[in-house]
Amino acid sequence: MVKPSVLVTRRWPAAVEARLAEDYNVVLNTGDKPLAAGEIRDALKTYDAVLPTVTDRLGPEALDVSGARTRILANYGVGYSHIDEARARDLGLTVTNTPDVLSECTADIAMTLMLMVARRAGEGERELRAGRWSGWRPTHLIGTKVSGKTLGIIGFGRIGQEVAKRAHHGFGMKILVQNRSRVDPALLARYDAVQVDSVDALLPQCDFVSLHCPGGAANRHLINGRRLDLMKPDAYLINTARGEVIDEQALARALWFDTIGGAALDVFDGEPHISPELIDCDNLVMLPHLGSATREAREAMGFRVLDNLGDFFAGRTPRDRVI
Protein backbone atom coordinates (compact mmCIF):
# COMPACT_ATOMS: atom_id res chain seq x y z
CA MET A 1 0.00 0.00 0.00
CA VAL A 2 1.29 3.49 -0.86
CA LYS A 3 2.08 5.46 2.27
CA PRO A 4 0.22 8.79 2.59
CA SER A 5 2.34 11.85 1.92
CA VAL A 6 2.81 14.19 4.84
CA LEU A 7 4.37 17.64 5.24
CA VAL A 8 5.57 18.82 8.66
CA THR A 9 5.75 22.62 8.81
CA ARG A 10 8.40 23.00 11.57
CA ARG A 11 11.09 20.86 13.25
CA TRP A 12 9.66 18.33 15.73
CA PRO A 13 11.39 16.23 18.41
CA ALA A 14 13.73 13.74 16.73
CA ALA A 15 11.97 10.66 18.11
CA VAL A 16 8.67 11.76 16.58
CA GLU A 17 10.19 12.71 13.22
CA ALA A 18 11.80 9.25 13.09
CA ARG A 19 8.46 7.51 13.71
CA LEU A 20 6.73 9.69 11.12
CA ALA A 21 9.36 8.73 8.56
CA GLU A 22 8.67 5.02 9.21
CA ASP A 23 4.92 5.32 8.69
CA TYR A 24 4.58 8.00 5.99
CA ASN A 25 6.21 9.55 2.97
CA VAL A 26 7.23 12.50 5.03
CA VAL A 27 8.79 15.83 4.11
CA LEU A 28 10.38 17.52 7.11
CA ASN A 29 11.15 21.21 7.47
CA THR A 30 14.82 20.67 8.32
CA GLY A 31 15.55 24.41 8.14
CA ASP A 32 12.73 25.09 10.65
CA LYS A 33 11.71 28.24 8.74
CA PRO A 34 8.04 29.27 9.02
CA LEU A 35 6.14 28.70 5.78
CA ALA A 36 4.64 31.65 3.90
CA ALA A 37 0.96 31.59 2.90
CA GLY A 38 1.89 30.63 -0.68
CA GLU A 39 3.97 27.67 0.54
CA ILE A 40 1.06 26.46 2.65
CA ARG A 41 -1.26 26.73 -0.36
CA ASP A 42 1.22 24.66 -2.42
CA ALA A 43 1.43 22.09 0.38
CA LEU A 44 -2.35 21.75 0.44
CA LYS A 45 -2.27 20.87 -3.25
CA THR A 46 0.59 18.39 -2.85
CA TYR A 47 0.30 16.33 0.35
CA ASP A 48 -2.36 14.03 1.80
CA ALA A 49 -1.76 15.51 5.24
CA VAL A 50 -0.26 18.77 6.45
CA LEU A 51 1.01 18.90 10.04
CA PRO A 52 1.05 22.55 11.11
CA THR A 53 1.67 24.03 14.51
CA VAL A 54 0.31 26.91 16.54
CA THR A 55 2.54 29.58 15.00
CA ASP A 56 1.53 28.79 11.40
CA ARG A 57 -1.04 31.19 10.01
CA LEU A 58 -3.76 29.13 8.37
CA GLY A 59 -6.12 31.99 7.75
CA PRO A 60 -8.25 32.70 4.68
CA GLU A 61 -5.16 33.60 2.59
CA ALA A 62 -3.24 30.36 3.24
CA LEU A 63 -6.39 28.26 2.86
CA ASP A 64 -7.45 29.93 -0.39
CA VAL A 65 -6.92 26.89 -2.63
CA SER A 66 -9.07 25.10 -5.10
CA GLY A 67 -8.59 21.39 -5.67
CA ALA A 68 -6.81 20.71 -2.36
CA ARG A 69 -5.26 17.25 -2.08
CA THR A 70 -4.86 17.52 1.69
CA ARG A 71 -7.63 15.93 3.72
CA ILE A 72 -6.32 16.42 7.23
CA LEU A 73 -4.56 19.19 9.15
CA ALA A 74 -3.13 17.31 12.12
CA ASN A 75 -2.11 20.23 14.30
CA TYR A 76 0.81 19.98 16.71
CA GLY A 77 -0.59 21.94 19.66
CA VAL A 78 -3.83 22.17 21.57
CA GLY A 79 -4.85 25.66 20.40
CA TYR A 80 -6.23 25.88 16.87
CA SER A 81 -7.44 29.46 16.64
CA HIS A 82 -4.73 29.99 13.98
CA ILE A 83 -6.78 27.82 11.59
CA ASP A 84 -9.70 29.50 9.85
CA GLU A 85 -12.50 27.18 10.82
CA ALA A 86 -15.01 28.19 8.13
CA ARG A 87 -12.42 27.89 5.36
CA ALA A 88 -11.19 24.52 6.67
CA ARG A 89 -14.77 23.25 6.64
CA ASP A 90 -15.29 24.57 3.07
CA LEU A 91 -12.23 22.59 1.99
CA GLY A 92 -13.59 19.49 3.71
CA LEU A 93 -10.52 19.28 5.94
CA THR A 94 -10.46 17.27 9.13
CA VAL A 95 -8.57 19.16 11.84
CA THR A 96 -7.11 17.58 14.98
CA ASN A 97 -5.19 18.98 17.96
CA THR A 98 -3.12 17.60 20.86
CA PRO A 99 -4.92 18.12 24.18
CA ASP A 100 -4.15 16.53 27.59
CA VAL A 101 -0.47 15.75 27.08
CA LEU A 102 0.67 19.34 27.70
CA SER A 103 -1.77 20.28 30.45
CA GLU A 104 0.53 19.55 33.38
CA CYS A 105 3.53 21.34 31.89
CA THR A 106 1.47 24.38 30.89
CA ALA A 107 0.02 24.52 34.41
CA ASP A 108 3.57 24.32 35.77
CA ILE A 109 4.49 27.39 33.70
CA ALA A 110 1.41 29.26 34.96
CA MET A 111 2.56 28.55 38.53
CA THR A 112 6.12 29.55 37.62
CA LEU A 113 4.84 32.88 36.30
CA MET A 114 2.61 33.44 39.32
CA LEU A 115 5.50 32.89 41.70
CA MET A 116 7.95 34.89 39.60
CA VAL A 117 5.79 37.98 39.39
CA ALA A 118 4.60 37.87 43.01
CA ARG A 119 8.11 37.32 44.35
CA ARG A 120 9.72 39.75 41.88
CA ALA A 121 12.05 37.05 40.56
CA GLY A 122 12.49 38.70 37.14
CA GLU A 123 13.40 42.04 38.70
CA GLY A 124 15.81 40.31 41.08
CA GLU A 125 17.57 38.42 38.32
CA ARG A 126 17.88 41.54 36.15
CA GLU A 127 19.37 43.45 39.09
CA LEU A 128 21.86 40.71 39.93
CA ARG A 129 23.04 40.14 36.35
CA ALA A 130 23.49 43.89 35.87
CA GLY A 131 25.82 43.98 38.88
CA ARG A 132 23.42 46.24 40.79
CA TRP A 133 22.82 43.97 43.84
CA SER A 134 24.18 45.63 46.97
CA GLY A 135 23.33 42.74 49.31
CA TRP A 136 20.55 41.49 51.62
CA ARG A 137 18.51 44.05 53.50
CA PRO A 138 15.11 43.91 55.18
CA THR A 139 13.43 46.16 52.65
CA HIS A 140 14.87 44.77 49.43
CA LEU A 141 12.54 43.65 46.57
CA ILE A 142 9.60 42.95 48.82
CA GLY A 143 7.01 40.85 47.02
CA THR A 144 3.64 39.34 47.79
CA LYS A 145 2.90 36.01 49.47
CA VAL A 146 1.20 33.51 47.17
CA SER A 147 0.16 30.79 49.63
CA GLY A 148 -3.39 31.09 50.91
CA LYS A 149 -4.45 33.81 48.46
CA THR A 150 -7.46 33.77 46.12
CA LEU A 151 -6.86 32.62 42.55
CA GLY A 152 -9.39 33.25 39.80
CA ILE A 153 -9.21 30.83 36.88
CA ILE A 154 -10.84 31.95 33.63
CA GLY A 155 -11.54 28.85 31.51
CA PHE A 156 -11.78 25.61 33.44
CA GLY A 157 -10.65 23.07 30.86
CA ARG A 158 -7.84 20.60 31.41
CA ILE A 159 -5.10 23.20 31.93
CA GLY A 160 -7.23 25.34 34.22
CA GLN A 161 -7.96 22.26 36.32
CA GLU A 162 -4.27 21.38 36.59
CA VAL A 163 -3.58 24.93 37.79
CA ALA A 164 -6.35 24.59 40.38
CA LYS A 165 -4.82 21.33 41.59
CA ARG A 166 -1.38 22.87 42.08
CA ALA A 167 -2.63 26.14 43.55
CA HIS A 168 -5.14 24.61 45.95
CA HIS A 169 -3.38 21.45 47.09
CA GLY A 170 0.14 22.84 46.86
CA PHE A 171 -0.30 26.46 47.92
CA GLY A 172 -3.57 26.35 49.87
CA MET A 173 -5.14 28.90 47.53
CA LYS A 174 -8.85 29.57 47.40
CA ILE A 175 -10.07 28.87 43.86
CA LEU A 176 -12.73 30.82 41.96
CA VAL A 177 -13.67 29.67 38.49
CA GLN A 178 -15.29 31.36 35.50
CA ASN A 179 -16.23 29.06 32.64
CA ARG A 180 -18.57 29.29 29.65
CA SER A 181 -20.56 26.24 30.73
CA ARG A 182 -21.55 24.97 34.16
CA VAL A 183 -18.74 22.99 35.76
CA ASP A 184 -19.65 19.65 37.35
CA PRO A 185 -19.92 20.31 41.12
CA ALA A 186 -17.92 17.12 41.78
CA LEU A 187 -15.04 18.56 39.77
CA LEU A 188 -15.20 21.89 41.62
CA ALA A 189 -15.27 19.99 44.93
CA ARG A 190 -11.86 18.43 44.15
CA TYR A 191 -10.32 21.87 44.56
CA ASP A 192 -12.89 23.31 46.93
CA ALA A 193 -13.56 25.72 44.06
CA VAL A 194 -16.52 28.04 43.53
CA GLN A 195 -17.83 28.90 40.07
CA VAL A 196 -18.85 32.52 39.57
CA ASP A 197 -21.23 33.73 36.88
CA SER A 198 -19.07 36.12 34.90
CA VAL A 199 -15.58 37.49 34.36
CA ASP A 200 -16.78 40.79 35.82
CA ALA A 201 -17.93 39.06 38.99
CA LEU A 202 -14.66 37.13 39.33
CA LEU A 203 -12.07 39.87 38.84
CA PRO A 204 -12.73 42.06 41.93
CA GLN A 205 -12.48 39.05 44.25
CA CYS A 206 -9.05 37.74 43.21
CA ASP A 207 -5.44 38.27 44.26
CA PHE A 208 -4.30 36.37 41.15
CA VAL A 209 -6.14 35.82 37.87
CA SER A 210 -4.93 33.12 35.49
CA LEU A 211 -6.25 32.85 31.90
CA HIS A 212 -6.96 29.41 30.43
CA CYS A 213 -9.66 30.13 27.86
CA PRO A 214 -9.23 29.62 24.10
CA GLY A 215 -7.97 32.45 21.89
CA GLY A 216 -9.49 33.56 18.60
CA ALA A 217 -12.04 36.23 17.74
CA ALA A 218 -14.51 35.23 20.47
CA ASN A 219 -12.09 36.01 23.30
CA ARG A 220 -10.07 38.81 21.70
CA HIS A 221 -9.46 41.48 24.36
CA LEU A 222 -11.58 39.63 26.90
CA ILE A 223 -9.32 41.38 29.39
CA ASN A 224 -9.60 45.02 28.34
CA GLY A 225 -9.12 48.34 30.14
CA ARG A 226 -12.53 48.22 31.78
CA ARG A 227 -11.92 44.73 33.16
CA LEU A 228 -8.38 45.54 34.31
CA ASP A 229 -9.99 48.33 36.34
CA LEU A 230 -12.15 45.69 38.05
CA MET A 231 -9.06 43.95 39.43
CA LYS A 232 -7.78 44.73 42.91
CA PRO A 233 -4.98 47.34 42.80
CA ASP A 234 -2.47 44.77 44.08
CA ALA A 235 -3.70 41.77 42.03
CA TYR A 236 -1.65 39.92 39.41
CA LEU A 237 -2.70 38.77 35.93
CA ILE A 238 -1.19 35.58 34.44
CA ASN A 239 -1.59 34.56 30.78
CA THR A 240 -0.53 31.18 29.40
CA ALA A 241 -3.53 30.98 27.02
CA ARG A 242 -3.31 33.21 23.95
CA GLY A 243 -1.91 36.71 23.57
CA GLU A 244 -5.00 38.18 21.94
CA VAL A 245 -7.08 37.52 25.07
CA ILE A 246 -5.49 40.61 26.65
CA ASP A 247 -5.57 44.15 25.26
CA GLU A 248 -1.83 44.73 25.65
CA GLN A 249 -2.06 48.52 25.37
CA ALA A 250 -4.54 48.58 28.23
CA LEU A 251 -2.35 46.19 30.22
CA ALA A 252 0.72 48.36 29.69
CA ARG A 253 -1.25 51.37 31.00
CA ALA A 254 -2.39 49.39 34.06
CA LEU A 255 1.21 48.35 34.75
CA TRP A 256 2.68 51.81 34.21
CA PHE A 257 0.09 53.48 36.42
CA ASP A 258 0.15 50.65 39.00
CA THR A 259 -3.58 50.08 38.84
CA ILE A 260 -2.81 46.36 39.23
CA GLY A 261 0.09 44.74 41.08
CA GLY A 262 1.72 43.13 38.06
CA ALA A 263 1.38 40.65 35.23
CA ALA A 264 3.17 37.62 33.86
CA LEU A 265 2.81 36.54 30.23
CA ASP A 266 3.89 33.46 28.31
CA VAL A 267 1.94 34.45 25.18
CA PHE A 268 1.64 37.69 23.19
CA ASP A 269 -0.61 39.25 20.60
CA GLY A 270 1.19 38.88 17.26
CA GLU A 271 4.12 36.99 18.81
CA PRO A 272 7.08 36.89 18.45
CA HIS A 273 6.59 40.66 18.15
CA ILE A 274 6.35 42.19 21.63
CA SER A 275 4.47 45.48 22.11
CA PRO A 276 7.18 48.07 22.88
CA GLU A 277 5.00 49.47 25.69
CA LEU A 278 5.45 46.21 27.61
CA ILE A 279 9.22 45.92 27.38
CA ASP A 280 10.11 48.40 30.13
CA CYS A 281 7.38 47.47 32.62
CA ASP A 282 9.25 46.33 35.72
CA ASN A 283 6.21 44.66 37.27
CA LEU A 284 5.87 42.34 34.26
CA VAL A 285 7.41 38.90 33.74
CA MET A 286 7.64 37.67 30.15
CA LEU A 287 8.52 34.21 28.83
CA PRO A 288 8.78 33.20 25.16
CA HIS A 289 5.75 30.85 24.92
CA LEU A 290 7.28 28.04 26.97
CA GLY A 291 4.08 26.45 28.34
CA SER A 292 4.56 23.04 26.73
CA ALA A 293 8.32 23.30 26.30
CA THR A 294 9.49 20.14 28.05
CA ARG A 295 10.97 17.10 26.32
CA GLU A 296 8.16 14.98 27.73
CA ALA A 297 5.30 17.21 26.58
CA ARG A 298 6.73 18.02 23.15
CA GLU A 299 7.34 14.34 22.36
CA ALA A 300 3.91 13.37 23.65
CA MET A 301 2.33 16.09 21.47
CA GLY A 302 4.06 14.63 18.42
CA PHE A 303 2.99 11.07 19.23
CA ARG A 304 -0.55 12.34 19.75
CA VAL A 305 -0.45 13.74 16.20
CA LEU A 306 0.71 10.32 15.01
CA ASP A 307 -2.24 8.68 16.77
CA ASN A 308 -4.61 11.10 15.09
CA LEU A 309 -3.06 10.52 11.67
CA GLY A 310 -3.09 6.75 12.17
CA ASP A 311 -6.80 6.81 13.00
CA PHE A 312 -7.61 9.09 10.08
CA PHE A 313 -5.83 7.03 7.44
CA ALA A 314 -7.30 3.82 8.90
CA GLY A 315 -10.77 5.28 8.33
CA ARG A 316 -11.53 5.93 12.01
CA THR A 317 -12.50 9.28 13.53
CA PRO A 318 -9.36 10.66 15.20
CA ARG A 319 -9.82 11.01 18.96
CA ASP A 320 -8.79 14.68 18.87
CA ARG A 321 -10.90 15.79 15.93
CA VAL A 322 -11.93 19.41 16.46
CA ILE A 323 -13.23 20.19 12.96
Residues at the site binding ligand DGY, with contacts judged by CB under 6 A: 54, 77-79, 102, 291-292
Closest listed residue to residue 8, CA positions, set 313, 34, 71, 81: 34
Amino acid at 297: A
Query: Could you tell me which residues come within 8 angstroms of residue 267 by beta carbon, excluding any fewer than 6 positions away?
Result: 239, 240, 241, 242, 243, 289, 291
Nearer to ligand DGY, 8 or 102 (CB): 102
Instruction: Note if 271 is an active site residue.
Output: yes
Residue 9 CB, shortest distance to ligand DGY, in Å, is 14
| Backbone torsions φ then ψ of 99, nearest 5 degrees | -75, 180
Pairing of strands 5-8, 150-154: unpaired
Cα 181 vs. chain centroid, distance in angstroms?
20
> Which member of 166, 212, 227, 289 is catalytic?
289
Write down the H helix ranges in 166-211: 171, 185-190, 199-202
> Which member of 41, 212, 227, 242 is catalytic?
242
Residue 151 CB, shortest distance to ligand DGY, in Å, is 21
How far CA 4 is from CA of 49, 60, 140, in Å, comes to 7, 25, 61
Instruction: Note if 221 is an active site residue.
Output: no
Q: Per this entry, what is the length of the chain?
A: 323
Please say whether the beta carbons of 87 and 60 come within 8 A. yes
Instruction: Note if 41 is an active site residue.
Output: no
Nearer to ligand DGY, 32 or 90 (CB): 32
Nearer to ligand DGY, 54 or 111 (CB): 54
Residue 81 CB, shortest distance to ligand DGY, in Å, is 9
Strand partners, 102: none
Residue 53 CB, shortest distance to ligand DGY, in Å, is 8
Residue 238 CB, shortest distance to ligand DGY, in Å, is 14
Cα 71 vs. chain centroid, distance in angstroms?
26
Catalytic residue ranges? 242, 271, 289
